[in-house]
Amino acid sequence: MTHADPPAHVALDFNRRSADEMRRRAREHYEDVARRRSVRHFSDEAVPLEVIEDCIRSAGTAPSGAHRQPWTFALITDPLMKRRIREAAEAEERENYSRRMNAEWIRALGPFGTNAEKPFLEAAPVLIVVLRHAWDEDEGARVQNYYTQESVGIASGFLLAALHHAGLATLTHTPSPMGFLSEVLRRPAYEKPFLLIPVGYPVQGCEVPNLERKRLDEILVRY
């Protein structure tokens, strides 16, 4: 018996919904994601890791250039590794806040009360580092990837939405530059740190900046 190759195309699994159902689902989704806020004050309470794993599965369903899936998600719970990441991130951020960011940038961050101290990198029970495969390697040979920024950006959005939907708080943290993460996590040169996401529960009484979002008419142009 010969072994058949899998078919190149299969039937699409698509849910055709009524207009009413679509209206309800779109509104529900909007109302849910509108409640997501970046959290900078995490409790140290542990989170169920199987929830995080399913959220990373969701991230891995994102579309990507030529379906290269150019991402790795590093899941960090080890307190010593979190401490090393915090120390290295704070060292970079001290440079940023004291020298590298200009006055306009510092002013723009005023409402958020951020500074070079990053206690959430140790307090949050989980850190996820999203890594972007600038290229891949196949037995040492370089394999080109496509639209990796777009692909990994979309996957990160899927991840944040999944974590929020599951009931977890997140922060999108971009210590800069992020080269120290490659060293701490011992990742290969083709994996570039893209985003550092602390995940957990907010501390009791957690406050967030009182922000407004742009209205639909400010973000939508119709043709």
Contact positions vs ligand IYR (CB under 6 A):
93, 96, 109, 114, 173-176
Minimum CB separation of residue 15 from ligand IYR in Å reads 37
The token pair that represents 42 in the structure block = 């995490």
Q: How far apart are alpha carbons 131 and 144 in whole angstroms?
A: 16
Shortest Å distance, C-beta 190 to ligand IYR: 24
The count of other CB atoms within 10 Å of the CB of residue 5 is: 6
Contact 195, 206 (CB under 8 A): no
Q: Which residue lies nearer to ligand IYR by CB, 62 or 195? A: 195
Nearer to ligand IYR, 121 or 131 (CB): 121
Alpha-carbon torsion (122, 159, 73, 100), positive or negative:
negative
Instruction: Between 43 and 176, name the residue whose CB sits nearer to ligand IYR.
Output: 176
Pairing of strands 169-170, 71-76: unpaired
Which is closer to ligand IYR, CB of 175 or CB of 198?
Answer: 175
Q: Which is nearer to ligand IYR, 114 or 182 (CB)?
A: 114
β partners of residue 202: 42
Of 144 and 174, nearer to ligand IYR (C-beta) is 174
What does each C-alpha distance from 178 to 70, 72, 75, 142 come to in angstroms? 18, 15, 16, 23
Shortest Cβ 141–ligand IYR spacing (Å): 36
Burial (0-12, 13-18, 19+ Cβ within 10 Å), 203: middle
In this chain, which residue has its C-beta nearest to ligand IYR?
114
Q: Where would I find the H helices in the chain?
A: 19-34, 49-59, 79-95, 103-109, 120-123, 148-166, 179-185, 216-219
Residue 118 Cβ, how far from ligand IYR at the closest point, in Å?
7
User: Minimum CB separation from ligand IYR for residue 76, in Å?
Assistant: 17
Q: How far is the CB of 173 from ligand IYR (least distance, A)?
A: 6
